[in-house]
Chain A
Amino acid sequence: MASALERLRRSSAVDLTGLGLVALVLFWLAVNFVKAPAEFINVGLIGLTNGAIYGIVALGYTIVYGILQLINFAHGDVFALSGLVASTVIVSVLGLDADASVPVIVGGMLLTLVVIMTMFSFVNATIERVAYKPLRHAPRLAPLITAIGVSFIVQNVGLAIYGVNFRSVPAFIPPTNVFEIGGVSYTWDKLAALMVVVPLLGLLTWFVRQTRQGKAMRAVSQDREASAMMGIDVNRTISITFAIAGSLAGAAGIVFLLQFNMRYDTGFELGLIAFTAAVLGGIGNLPGAVLGAILIGLIQAFNEGLTWFAPGSDWTRTIVFGILILILVFRPEGLLGERTPEGA
């Protein structure tokens, strides 16, 4: 208690402003909860599900940033393209429709998942090879600018193939309730998203923590030269990182497609939201990205779904970017991250 007070006294005006803002948000949430508890929890569950999808995209940003210190602007667009290609695979190649039997649908989905994840791991690794690798020793802004260019190229590939119309797939998983307790309900289609996301997160954590290749990734992200001297193939490790990021984007594309419509430019905004999530959690930090994504998902859902003094969906972008700016100004290392050189 005494130490907490001591810390409070030592913290600067900047910290206090930040704490004040957080307190205000908490107060707003509390009032909303008291006014309509069931609705509040429903909205929260939607936010949690969306947050999980943002989480896999955010992980793609965070592992690439961790290893190259590069904001891979193209990641969101790779995600959108993967969703569009998945719609082709599901509808045209496999010819699945909502009347098919459960094993066929589940099998088809898993097959699509594997195909898309493999395909986009190659796409992303190729992007790295062609566009970023030659710039490894250029000033740091050079690959960032290139990434913006690649983002536009990928977006226009989607535009060229799929046009400006939104794509969607039939509702394979009916939005029937998994449970309903006192006005609080949760539907199967949302649970299906979590059923893909959670194992993927586990798999990624296991890969990075336990495997030899994961160890190499962590080593390269800490010190590229030293790991090269220790016999790690740095280029291969970076390629693999991009491949993993691409496959995550592919998985996110499918999960997103099952719930929402997608278009060639869906990835831009969602990519920025996911990037914000990665920064919020502390960029380069895997659990941080997921935590940040869930928080952003919740904030977005509360903003759009609550009734008492909620700004509404017109202001979602402003709020998300407002958070991004506040985080970068008040706590550039993010919630779980460590101080980076970009910070103050």
Chain B
Amino acid sequence: MTRLGQLAEEVRSGGRGRTYAIAAGLILLAVIYPEIVEALEDVPLIGDFVPGVDSMVVMIVFTMMAVGLNVVVGYAGLLDLGYVAFYAAGAYTAGWLASQQFEQVSFSFFSPTHNDEPGIHFSMWLVLIIAGVFTTIVGILIGLPTLRLRGDYLAIVTLGFGEIVPQFVRNGDSLGGFDLTNGTFGISPIDSLAFGSFVFRTQSNRAELFYWTAVALLLFTVFCCIRLRDSRLGRAWVAIREDETAAAAMGVPLMRTKTWSYAIGAFFGGVAGAFYASFKSGAFPADFYFNISVFLLCMVILGGMGSIAGVILGGMLLGYLNVEGLSTIGTKLQDGGLDFDPTKYQFGIYGIIVVVVMLFRPTGLIPERRHQIELAEGVHDTPFYDVQTEGAMTDRDRSND
């Protein structure tokens, strides 16, 4: 028995060592990617499909949002169909605090290159944090009244917010005569990330600088999510996901725990949104629509709900298809004489991916262990009618008399 235990321990620690080794290798590969990308592009056959550094930045930003969404959908099991609202909130925070949008004032804070310009100019690094905090507050404000709802009702309410926020920013150019969001034109240009007067956007290796920042942000997000998953809060989330009623009975404060998952998911969405706004130097209302929320959800589902490695894989894969892959494939097909443009049908393709994954591999590419068990053995997801209907309670009480 003890020998068996020791063996299991060895396997387990060995497994962990292997995981660390793979993770370290991947991180190293990610860091040196800009240096090797040219060599990769020369490789025959696959060379054309290698994403450039610029595309990689976009892919990583979306992956980061997917990892944030995974906290809400994967850990806590709350279906959020309005994640794009957080992305928009983050991007517009960057627009407000680091551009010439409010030209009535001239204020700069740790942003030496913008000292004399009109508008508010915070250091972009600070803006990333402020955007995260602001979006967290938005998330809590959205969450407090709505998280009492369960399941699909919650999904619909989040969908509603995901539709309201873009329309708000689109119409926000004359709120009582005040131009908050510059309407359909969006806010542009937005300041670049910079160390003092070393401005990323004006450097010759601009893409690489943004790329490494994106990698750092993603690593930070992943680190936070792993630590959160293994925390008391993370276990509470999983408990709620598995069985809300049982979790409540065990003393998990439902509202507070759910709101935390919402707030933390929103935080990463906001930071990613602000970073992306700085990278492409603008926040445009056309970028924020329902399909983006579904696209992010797709990444989480394809990768495996609740599994960080899975979500990263799903995010990079779908992000790649979105940014470059589909158009590359389309060009190849057209070279081969087939008149089909996959980018036109990208959301149909994502739809097929979602349906196929849900039907044939609901746990995703890299399943989370607990979620796998849940799907294999079934859940007790049936809501408790008898406890909630007051009539049923009194009837039972009466019959006991």
Q: Report B353-401 residues with CB < 8 Å from chain A CB.
A: 353-355, 358-359, 362, 374-375, 378-379, 381, 383-385, 388-389
Among B90-98, B120-128, B158-166, B319-327, the one that faces the other chain is: B158-166
Q: Which residues of B contact A143 (CB under 8 A)?
A: 358
Contact B79 A145 (CB under 8 A): yes
CB pair B355 A131 closer than 8 Å? yes
Contacts of A339 in B (CB 8 A): 388-389
Complexed CA–CA distance, A267 and B281 (Å): 34
Indicate if B25 sits at the interface (CB-CB under 8 A).
no
Q: Which of B51-59, B62-70, B147-155, B188-196 is near enough to bind chain A?
A: B147-155
Interface of A, secondary structure class, is helix
Cβ of A253 within 8 Å of any chain B Cβ, yes or no, is no
Interface hit among B108-116, B227-235, B261-269, B344-352: B344-352
The 4 closest A-B pairs by CB, nearest first: A156-B348, A152-B351, A341-B383, A149-B354
Is B156 interfacial (CB-CB < 8 Å)? yes
Q: Which residues of A contact B161 (CB under 8 A)?
A: 321, 325
Q: Which residues does chain B contribute within 8 Å of A142, judged by CB atoms?
A: 358, 362
Using A148-B81, A149-B355, A152-B347 as known contacts, list a sample of 8 further A-B pairs with CB atoms less than 8 Å apart, ordered by residue number in A: A131-B355, A139-B374, A142-B362, A145-B297, A146-B354, A146-B359, A159-B345, A321-B159
Contact check, A134 vs B150: say whether CB atoms are below 8 A apart. no
Known contacts being A131-B355, A138-B362, is A324 close to B79, with CB within 8 Å? no
B50 to chain A, nearest CB (A): 28
Q: Which residues of A contact B79 (CB under 8 A)?
A: 141, 144-145
Query: Which residues, 309 to 340 on A, are CB-close (under 8 Å) to B?
Result: 314-315, 317-318, 321-322, 324-325, 328-329, 332, 339
Chain A residues whose CB sits within 8 angstroms of the CB of B362 once the complex forms: 138, 142
The answer, among A150, A160, A321, A328, for a CB contact under 8 Å with B351, is A150
Known pairs A149-B358, A153-B351; A71 contacts B381 (CB<8 A): no
Which applies to chain B's interface (DSSP): helix, strand, loop or mixed?
A: helix
| CB within 8 Å: A-B pair count | 143
Q: Which residue of B lies closest to A149 (CB)?
A: B354
B198 within 8 A of A: no
A344 touches B156 (CB 8 A): no
Residue of A nearest to B77 (CB): A141
Measured CB to CB, the closest approach of chain B to A129, in angstroms, equals 12
18 contacting pairs across A/B (C-beta < 8 A)? A69-B152, A135-B358, A138-B358, A144-B151, A146-B359, A148-B354, A149-B355, A155-B348, A156-B351, A159-B344, A159-B348, A275-B156, A328-B157, A329-B149, A341-B150, A342-B152, A342-B153, A343-B149
